[in-house]
């Protein structure tokens, strides 16, 4: 497993694990980041990611993205 920040632009990946405190994991789950779901990296800017999750695009900063393991 590697952190989401290591994924390439345009790559579609499957979430394997989400680390961090319960409230952080709950917040990510509310945004659609749940284990076994697929997401696509749309772009990266300064360590921040724009991700396609289902029918939405969501921006995550590096400190949140590094908690998502793929």
Give me the CATH number covering residue 52. 2.30.30.90
Which two three-digit tokens encode residue 51? 């991700």
Q: What pLDDT is attached to residue 11?
A: 96
Q: What pLDDT is attached to residue 47?
A: 83
Write the CB contacts of 58 (distance below 8 Å, at least 6 apart in sequence). Answer: 31, 32, 50, 51
Q: What pLDDT is attached to residue 65?
A: 93
Local structure of 26: helix, strand or coil: helix
Q: What pTM value is reported for the model? A: 0.89
Query: Count of domains in the chain?
Result: 1
* Regions of the chain where pLDDT drops below 70: none
Domain boundaries, position 14: 4-69
Q: What pLDDT is attached to residue 46?
A: 85
């Amino acid at each position: 497993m590697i952190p989401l920040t290591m994924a390439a632009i345009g790559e579609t990946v499957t979430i394997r694990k989400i680390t961090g405190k319960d409230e952080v994991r709950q917040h990510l789950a509310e945004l659609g980041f749940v284990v076994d779901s697929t997401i696509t990296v749309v772009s990266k800017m300064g360590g921040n990611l724009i991700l396609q999750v289902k029918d939405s695009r969501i921006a995550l900063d590096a400190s949140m993205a590094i908690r998502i393991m793929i």
